[in-house]
Amino acid sequence: MTAVAIRPLLETDLAAADRIFRQAFGTFVGLPDPLEFAGDSNWVRSRWLADPSTALAAKLDGELVGSNFVTCWGSVGSFGPLSVRPDLWDRGIARVLLEATTPIFDRAGVTHAGLFTFADSLKHLVLYQRFGFWPRFQTVVFAGPPGESAHELLCWSAVAHDDRSALLAAAQRLTGAVHPGLDVTREIRNVVEHGLGDVVLTGAPDAPDGLAICHCGPGSEAGSGACFVKFGAVRPGAGGEERFGRLLDACADLTRRLGLERIVAGVNTARRAAYRAVLARGWRAQLIGIAMHRHDDPAYNHAGALVLDDWR
């Protein structure tokens, strides 16, 4: 086989990368038409828009055959979806993509890196272990109806533009209290600037004690009828569980007010308090995967961490 070339993924590659992503995952899970995987959501475009410099293309004989997307949230990083054209599986292309992936974390100053993968796929587990990622707790992706209760709702879209810089700094302080160096401000900008959804805020408008980055509807990472909480967290400490409950309810309010049918959110089962809070709302598990962490580092996956994310 000709050597695989790795280069940055370009905007002109997005349509082909999206097709390969759907073919790969749809084939793996056994869909009759693999291209129907993920419906009208658009993970490839969203991840590329967040930071084009950390999106990787694998090319063979001048043709795109795979891609990977690296997400850096300050000191915390993850990658995926990593996909390779199904007719070229087991040819070492994923390995070459991973060889180019891990240095990105190091250059960005990421101290905790991980991924979400299929818990029952030995092939995936073995591959990622070769790069120092080790399976830890399961991550469950839940979905449920938004319910009927209504609360006062503050969203980023309602904040005056002149106040947003200060609010970004407040958000950075909040996530830094959850885990040193954790910073999701790039993710906030991506959602707001590209019309992918909104950011739910709880607590004082100028000093929130909770935030949730939500993708909403078709063309986002949610897809039709859904509000996907890509990341959510509250200030740790006394009263945290009550704050987390308010954040979950606020996300449900956003879902209902936008006329969407369901709220989708992932939580690592090591975060016992967060996991129980989601269960208490009657949401049902839709997908179960495994979180793999570089250096077997738990980071903010511990019993008291009140955080939503799933690293897919």
Q: Which residues of the chain have pLDDT under 70?
A: 1, 149-150
* DSSP assignment of 177-190: HHSTTB--HHHHHH
- The pLDDT of residue 152 is 78
Predicted confidence (pLDDT) per residue in 53-73, tens digit: 999 999 999 999 999 999 999
pTM as predicted: 0.96
- The pLDDT of residue 1 is 58
Q: Which two tokens stand for residue 157?
A: 């879209």
Predicted confidence (pLDDT) per residue in 205-264, tens digit: 889 999 999 999 999 999 999 999 999 999 999 999 999 999 999 999 999 999 999 999
- The pLDDT of residue 300 is 95
Options 3.40.630.30, 3.90.550.10, 3.40.50.300, 1.10.10.10; CATH of 142-308? 3.40.630.30
- The pLDDT of residue 6 is 98
- Tell which residue, 288, 180, 303, 195, has the closest CA to residue 241: 303
Residues of the chain with CATH 3.40.630.30: 5-110, 142-308
Q: Does domain 5-110 have CATH number 1.10.8.60?
A: no
- The pLDDT of residue 148 is 77
